[in-house]
Amino acid sequence: MTDTADGAARPSHDDLQYDRIGEDYELSKELPLTRFVERPSVLGLLADVRGKRVLDLACGTGVYSRHARRLGAERVLGVDISPKMIEACRAAEERAPLGVEYAVHDASELPRLGTFDVLLAAYLFNYADSPGALERMARACARNLRAGGSLRAFVAHPGFDFGRPLPERYGFSFEREPDPAHEGRIRVTAHTDPRVSFSAYLPPAGVFEEAFTAAGFRDCAWRAVQPSVEGELEHGPAYWDDFRANPPWTVFHCLKCAEAGAG
Q: Where are the domains of the chain?
A: 19-262
Predicted local distance difference test score (pLDDT) of residue 66:
98
Predicted local distance difference test score (pLDDT) of residue 140:
97
What's the CA gap between 107 and 147, in Å, rounded? 19
Residue 143's closest CA among 241, 57, 22, 15? Answer: 57
Q: What is the CATH number of domain 19-262?
A: 3.40.50.150
Predicted local distance difference test score (pLDDT) of residue 21:
47
What's the CA gap between 247 and 249, in Å, rounded? 6
Residue 228's closest CA among 29, 44, 28, 30? Answer: 44
Predicted local distance difference test score (pLDDT) of residue 11:
39
Percent of the chain with pLDDT over 70: 88
What does the pLDDT look like over 222-245, one tens digit per residue?
A: 999 999 999 999 999 999 999 999
Average pLDDT of span 21-27: 57
